[in-house]
A = this chain, B = another copy of it.
Amino acid sequence: MLEQNFLAFINDNQLFGTSDHLLLAVSGGIDSMVMADLFYRTNQPFSIAHVNFGLRGADSEADALFVQNKAEHYGVPFHLTHFDTTAIAAERGISIQMAARELRYTWFDQLLEDYKYACVATAHHLNDVLETLLLNLTRGTGLAGLHGIASKQNGIVRPLLFATRSQLAMYAEEQKLLYREDSSNSDDKYARNRIRHHIVPVLTELNSGLWQTLPRTIERLRAAEVLMQAELKRSWKETILQDGNQITLPADKLQALAELTFQLAEWLKPFGFADDQVKHMIESLNQSVGQVFESSTHRISHERIGLLLEPLPIPMDYEITLVDWPNGLVAVAGAFALAIDEIEKTGDFNLPTDSSIACLDADRLTFPLTIRPWRQGDRFRPLGLNGHKLVSDLLNDLKVSRTEREQTAVLLSGGQIAWVIGRRIDHRFRVKAETKRIGRFSLTSTMDFPPNRS
């Protein structure tokens, strides 16, 4: 019965193909042991991965050994790793749970890549879904917090999402499956237990069909969110005026928006702005201009035309040293990166017309190269100009915005400015007729507006 539902669920949701080789995340607890057994009995190719987080001493060791034995029993490949989770969490200043989660998924990603597994499978089930929903509801949430985890997302599948905890327990009993007591170190453990033992039983008493209706409810909420995100994205595109790294949200368009507070909050969340800041931004629209709101990465200023969104100025103290051609992307700081390549100059070479790309004479450049913000007093010899010019004068002439001015950087070779990045190259480093090799530097934004919305 559970086997049939398992296969039907995989098929209905197109989680993976019957010949795909999956990597199962197995803790040794009842849920993941049932999952592994279902894969085994349905002849789905799989390997097992177990993480020893080192959080429970000898018990952790015993869990690992238990899972390893089971993998040998099934005759499938077994991957084991060990982390000193407590130390890593302390070092990074994050919770043990968060550290465990990050370590686990980073390792899985590596295994997927190294062994070409189709995807990772975890043993989340319907009770997890309901408990998470209620936990999030209790704490305050949005739509995503209610529908919770998807059956397939980011290379992870959850093929038990159709089943309840008691169905899994029944299967384990029927198959006389052994398992280790789940001893989750979840920060939510207390809350989840309260929900599991005191709330869910009342809900199932009120509707004995709860476990049949829940997946449909969840599916409706998930679909609703996909549509809502599509509308958010469409509306963002129709609202904004973009000029490089500057986004203007015109006040008149904002005022005409349906659900302005919600939409603006959703749009600006990826840029680090909090709901309260958004509320104040909206209030500021009816006040005189000049108010500024900052997140850890971005700034919004209330200007005459509306709200201006920009990346925060890059910190003024960075200096990047290149000891050789990186032939790839070099992230500089905050908002920009350089793609740097050394290429042969061929007959059909044309100088770029885009000021965001600099082609320089590679043989004229001497390593180490330096990238740093421009400074007062910086001078260079602009291309085609017979003489020197202050960088500050160049920026004045180009009438760049305050933020752009603050963010302008220079590329130096042997102490000389070779490129005022994104603005003008230096005459001495230009590509000449006799140039053989070219250093090509392309300015790239690391900011995607809006940041990925799936």
What is the interface of chain A, defined by CB distance below 8 A to chain B?
Answer: 133-135, 137-143, 146, 191, 194-195, 198-199, 202-203, 205-207, 209-210, 213-214, 216-217, 219-221, 223-228, 230-232, 234-235, 258-259, 261-263, 275
Contact = CB atoms under 8 A, between A and B. Distances in A.
A213 B138 CA distance: 8
A220 B275 CA distance: 11
Contact of A203 (B134, B220, B224, B228): B134
A217 B137 contact: yes
A226 B258 contact: yes
Nearest to A205: B194
Given A205-B194, A259-B226, A142 B221 contact: yes
A140 B217 contact: yes
A206 B194 contact: yes
B232 A227 contact: yes
Nearest to A143: B224
Contact of A210 (B138, B213, B221, B226): B138
Pick from A135, A142, A263 the residue with the most CB of B within 10 Å: A142
B259 A223 contact: yes
B217 A228 contact: no
Nearest to A203: B138
A140 B230 contact: no
Contacts of A133: 137
A203 B199 contact: yes
A209 B139 CA distance: 8
Contacts of A140: 207, 209, 213-214, 216-217
Pick from A194, A195, A198, A261 the residue with the most CB of B within 10 Å: A198
Contacts of A228: 224-225, 227-228, 231
Nearest to A212: B140
B259 A217 contact: no
Total identical chains: 2
A203 B202 CA distance: 13
A309 B435 CA distance: 68
A227 B137 contact: no
Nearest to A204: B138
A260 to B, nearest CB: 9
A195 B220 CA distance: 23
Closest 4 interchain pairs by CB?
A: A140-B213, A223-B262, A231-B231, A223-B259
A235 B220 CA distance: 17
Contacts of A137: 133, 203, 217
Contacts of A223: 259, 261-263
25 contacts: A135-B206, A138-B203, A139-B213, A140-B207, A140-B209, A140-B213, A142-B220, A143-B143, A191-B206, A194-B206, A198-B199, A199-B199, A199-B202, A216-B275, A219-B262, A223-B259, A224-B224, A224-B262, A225-B228, A226-B259, A227-B235, A227-B259, A230-B231, A230-B258, A231-B231
B217 A142 contact: yes
Nearest to A223: B262
A139 B214 CA distance: 8
A229 to B, nearest CB: 9
Nearest to A134: B203
Contacts of A207: 138-140
Contacts of A219: 262
B217 A141 contact: yes
B191 A198 contact: no
